[in-house]
Amino acid sequence: MRVDDLLEQGLCRSFEFFPPKNDDEAATLSATITELADLDPSFVSVTYRGGRESRQRTFDLVSSIEHTSGIPAMAHLICVGHTREEMREILSNYVDDGIDNIMALGGDIPTDPALQGGDFVHAIELVELARSVGEFSVGVAAHPLGHPRSTSRMSDRRYLAEKLRLADFAVTQFFFDVAEWRGLVDDLEALGVDKPVIPGIMPVTTLSGAARMAEMGAAVPAWLMDRLEGAKGDGSAAVRQVGIEAATELCFQLLDAGAPGLHFYTLNRSTATREIHARLFPL
């Protein structure tokens, strides 16, 4: 099914995976997909870093999930480093495989010079190309605090609004305060755009993970760091529990605020996501 159709039907619950690079990672991901499939997700998404090898891993995983598990799968695509001809071929392959859902991303500028360049400058160009190739449901990325490379938050909002006028929905970068999602949605509505914006959720389960999140563009706020640090003396399990509780609280607040769904960044592990899901949607 198309993600935009699923969103029209009601609250969506979705999970994000990345393609495995070796047999051990593949075994872990296979177990994770099996465990999370029991939660009956609305859809799942698969990331993509660019380059022919990564591209094929994404395609293979998306195709496998879509056709063997029965769960709608969404393929991430990035426009950095691709020619239009190359991207048209990638999109056509998804059409031929019966994949309906695409996440159109700009992508981080790669360090490998061989992967730099290409015909695209902004993700909106990829949205336009996807529209010309197939009847995709197209998602785009949103940053509640603004994209790290944007000149200002409002310029980022205007660019996002422009993308969303062509796309069907957005999925946000992870964040930690419901007011950040609410502010993003309000700003888009003020610009005349009311497409669904699905909040992205990533629980902080370790103090080292909190540091990495800042590098990924969404620093853990001081109030949450204080809670995590306060639990440190009771061991790593206590720190993890604080992170799970904080993510669960955020999810409840988002649902109360009218969020159209929840998108969980799993890092190819199921435990934290299953714990949060069980608290949100008890049997």
Q: Which residues on neighbouring strands pair with residue 200, listed in sequence order?
A: 174, 263
Query: Which of helix, strand or coil describes residue 152?
Result: coil
Does the CA dihedral 245-229-213-63 come out positive or negative? negative
Structure tokens at 44: 């799942």
Q: Which residue of the set 16, 66, 180, 275 is catalytic?
A: 16
Judging by DSSP bridges, how do beta strands 73-78 and 101-105 pair with one another? parallel
SS3 of 81-103: CCCHHHHHHHHHHHHHCCCCEEE
Cβ atoms of residues 218 and 211 within 8 Å? no
Active site residue 16: yes
The DSSP letter of residue 191 is T
End-to-end Cα, the chain, rounded Å? 25
Structure tokens at 229: 């640090």
Give the DSSP per-residue string, 239-268.
Answer: HHHHHHHHHHHHHHHHHHTT-SEEEEE-TT
Query: Which of helix, strand or coil describes residue 137?
Result: strand
Number of helices (H) and strands (E) in the chain: give both, helices first: 11, 8
Instruction: Please give the Cα distance from 142 to 91 (Å, whole number).
Output: 22
Give the active site residues: 16
